[in-house]
Amino acid sequence: MNRIMIEPGKAGFTPQDLSFDWRPNLERIEAEAADASRTGLSDQWALAEALCWMDLIDAEIAALDAASRDDRAGRSRAQLLEWRRRVEAVIDTLKGVEAAGGYSVTGPPKEASRAQGLGAVSYGEKNLHAYGTA
C-alpha cells in the first residue's frame, strides 16, 4: 500500500501564510501516475489516494468559501486550486490507464462499484464552476 504523506514545512510551502498546515505529496502521486501510464499497469492505490486528496482539497475550498474573505484566505484558496488541478491531472491519467485496459496486480478492472450505482458523486461530476476551475 502506498503511504499518504502530509508534509508541513516542506520547501516552498509556507503554512503560516495559509489557512491550513498540511501539504499533499503531489510529486510522489504524480510519479506514480506517470509510472502507471508508462507501464500500462493500473495503480488503484494511487487512484484511491488521489481521490481522497481531491475530497480533502474540495472540503478546504468549501470551508474557505464559507468563511470571511481576507488575504490569507485568498492565498489559501489559490494554493488549493493549484493542488486541485494537479490532483485532477493524476486522476485523469490513472483513470485513462484503467480505461485502456491497464490491469493491476489485483486483476482486470471491476464493474462499477455499488456506491456508483447508488448515485455517489465522483470528482468529475462535481460543480467545478463553483471553484473557478472550469
Q: How far apart are CA 87 and CA 93, in angstroms?
A: 10
Domain that residue 77 falls in:
25-131
Confidence of residue 15 (pLDDT cuts 50, 70, 90): low
Q: Tell me the helix, strand and coil percentages in the chain, rounded to 5.
A: 60, 5, 35
Number of domains in the chain: 1
Per-residue pLDDT at 128 exceeds 60: no
Instruction: Confirm whether 74 is domain-assigned.
Output: yes
Instruction: Confirm whether 56 is domain-assigned.
Output: yes
Sign (positive/negative) of CA torsion 42, 90, 125, 61?
Answer: positive
Instruction: Confirm whether 62 is domain-assigned.
Output: yes
Per-residue pLDDT at 21 exceeds 50: yes
Instruction: Confirm whether 94 is domain-assigned.
Output: yes
The number of beta carbons lying within 10 Å of the beta carbon of residue 97 is 25
In this structure, what are the phi and psi dihedrals at residue 102, rounded to the nearest 5 degrees?
A: -70, 115
- The residue with cell 503560516 is 16
Highest mean pLDDT among 80-84, 112-116, 117-121: 80-84
Instruction: Confirm whether 7 is domain-assigned.
Output: no
The pLDDT tens digits of the residues spanning 43-88 come to 999 999 999 999 999 999 999 988 877 888 888 999 999 999 999 9
Instruction: Confirm whether 124 is domain-assigned.
Output: yes
Instruction: Confirm whether 11 is domain-assigned.
Output: no
Residue 68 has what DSSP assignment?
-
The pLDDT tens digits of the residues spanning 79-109 come to 999 999 999 999 999 999 988 876 654 555 4
Q: How far apart are CA 108 and CA 113, in angstroms?
A: 14
